[in-house]
Amino acid sequence: MAKREPKILAGIELGGTKTVAVLSRGTEIFERVRLPTTSPQETLHLLGERLGRWDAIYPIAALGVASFGPLVIDPGHARYGHLLDTPKKGWSGANLGPLATRLDCPVALHTDVTAAALAEGKWGAARGCTDHVYITVGTGIGMGIVVAGQPLSGQLHPEAGHMRVARAFDDDFTGSCPFHGDCLEGLASGIAIAQRAGKPGAKVAGDDPLWEWVVEAIALACANLRLTLACERIVLGGGVIAGRAMLVDRIAERTHALIGGYLPLASQMVVAAELGEDAGPKGALLLAALALAAHA
């Protein structure tokens, strides 16, 4: 019997600063395009054109869209595919629906951080785990939660990057979040770090005392997640974490201390992400594969 060719899947990672679109045949990405995320009109138009050109050459079997949020991901909701109020200027209320209707194929829509969580579970730092959390610490803080191998969704998607955590006793920073002030994102995101330091986070020395406040906030979040979800692993990624192994080690140690021996913890429960910038696009392809399987 002739071997059946893998179906062509398309994935889009719509990020706050850049957008990546990919095509894959099985697990092999063979087409990739990267463009800046500008206005909704321009970005979605360019993506739609690219999908149309690809589909004319390689008929696309399913599409996965992984976007920054907050985002309406319930297909039964009247505003399915619409962004809610977002710090990304000009994108509040933007409709991603035209991307889904551009192709005659199954489509799955979720957040970029959830897609990254799926990818880290399949190929990265959470391989072999059925229950894990991916936290991206970048301009903002987002979380993707995977339970029993499936992305967790409720009425909306998880927005645990905005959970409330107790600030360190000597931390008087008011917080950078425009919605909540000193939530987790407001205390420990890239924007928060830059505001604390008065300069870009990349220029903050590794021994700067402000990292203690960042470590404390993120470790508190990790402890809360472990106690709430009983997850096997928490994966830390994003621009703030990348290249700062010492930061991951300190967060892991502090998380263990905060748990206080109440639950047994694996030695590698809090770890650094492994896939880097490929996590989002690869995760979008996993979303496409889920959409295809659901329509089989």
Residue 64, domain CATH: 3.30.420.40
pLDDT above 50: residue 204: yes
Q: Which amino acid is at 161?
A: G
User: Domain count of the chain?
Assistant: 2
pLDDT above 50: residue 229: yes
pLDDT band of residue 3 (cuts 50, 70, 90) is low
Residues 26 and 56 in one domain: yes
Residues 218 and 80 in one domain: no
Residues 157 and 243 in one domain: yes
SS (H, E, C) the chain: CCCCCCCEEEEEEECCCEEEEEEEECCEEEEEEEEECCCHHHHHHHHHHHHHHHHHHCCCCEEEEEECCCECCCCCCCCCCEECCCCCCCCCCCECHHHHHHCCCCEEEEEHHHHHHHHHHHHCCCCCCCCEEEEEECCCEEEEEEECCEECCCCCCCCHHHCCCCCCCCCCCCCCECCCECCHHHHHCHHHHHHHHCCCHHHCCCCCCHHHHHHHHHHHHHHHHHHHHCCCEEEEECCCCCCCHHHHHHHHHHHHHHHCCCCCCCCCCEEECCCHHHHHHHHHHHHHHHHHHHCC
Residues 249 and 162 in one domain: yes
117 within domain boundaries: no
pLDDT the model gives residue 1? 47
- Give the pLDDT confidence of 193-202 residue by residue, as tens digits: 999 999 998 8
Segment 48-70 mean pLDDT = 95
**Distant-in-sequence, close-in-space partners of 242: CB < 8 Å, separation ≥ 6:** 276
157 within domain boundaries: yes
Segment 221-249 mean pLDDT = 94
Residues 261 and 282 in one domain: no
Q: CA–CA separation, 295 vs 141, rounded Å? A: 33
- Give the pLDDT confidence of 246-256 residue by residue, as tens digits: 999 999 999 99
36 within domain boundaries: yes
User: Regarding predicted confidence, which is higher, 263 or 120?
Assistant: 120
pLDDT the model gives residue 199? 94
105 within domain boundaries: yes
Residues 254 and 231 in one domain: yes
For residue 176, report the phi and psi dihedrals to the nearest 5 degrees.
-105, -5
Instruction: Express as a percent the part of the chain with pLDDT over 90.
Output: 77
116 within domain boundaries: no
Q: Which amino acid is at 68?
A: F
Residues 74 and 141 in one domain: no
pLDDT band of residue 292 (cuts 50, 70, 90) is very high
Domain assignment of residue 168, given as a range:
125-274
139 within domain boundaries: yes
Residues 97 and 212 in one domain: no
**pTM of the full structure:** 0.92
pLDDT above 90: residue 101: no
Q: CA–CA separation, 149 vs 131, rounded Å? A: 6
Total length of the chain: 296
Residues 180 and 264 in one domain: yes
Residues 129 and 219 in one domain: yes
Tell me if the bond preceding 87 is cis, omega within 30° of 0.
Answer: no
Residues 260 and 145 in one domain: yes
